[in-house]
Amino acid sequence: MEVRVGSVEDVRRDGCRTVDVNGRPVGVISVGEEFFAISDKCPHMGASMCQGSLSGTFVPAGPHEYVYGRAGMVIRCPWHGWEFDIESGRSLLDPKRVGLKTYRVTQEDGEVVLHV
């Protein structure tokens, strides 16, 4: 099923737009030239992830090295701060057990299209 989310310009301006897909909230997120989509319901207590903030995180590096990466690819829940990678949906703290469902997003004729 395809869901028209809005124009590329509008979704970029919003940063994150929540759409209802058969009663399930899905957050469509703009990062640079790309779009990502995740479940917009935090697995902890149900907050809207779209109300959270985007950032990066420290990535694996050598001993005594601190390398910041994944800029704009980590979303932090607005209620208690759980963090998720918006590309994989996996929790940064417990990636094997906790995550958000992800969806494919494309751009067609100037519109953002969510594939569910």
Is there binding between residue 42 and ligand FES (CB under 6 A)?
yes
**Rounded Cα gap, residues 51 and 43, in angstroms:** 14
35, 36, 82, 103: which one binds ligand FES (CB under 6 A): 82
Residue ranges in 59-78 that form contacts with ligand FES under rule CB under 6 A:
77
Output b/e per residue, 99-108; b: 16+ Cβ within 10 A.
bbebbebeee
CB of 75 to ligand FES, least distance (A): 10
Burial tier of 30 (Cβ tally within 10 Å: 0-12, 13-18, 19+): buried
Is there binding between residue 47 and ligand FES (CB under 6 A)?
yes
**Rounded Cα gap, residues 25 and 18, in angstroms:** 6
Nearer to ligand FES, 82 or 112 (CB): 82
15, 20, 45, 68: which one binds ligand FES (CB under 6 A): 45
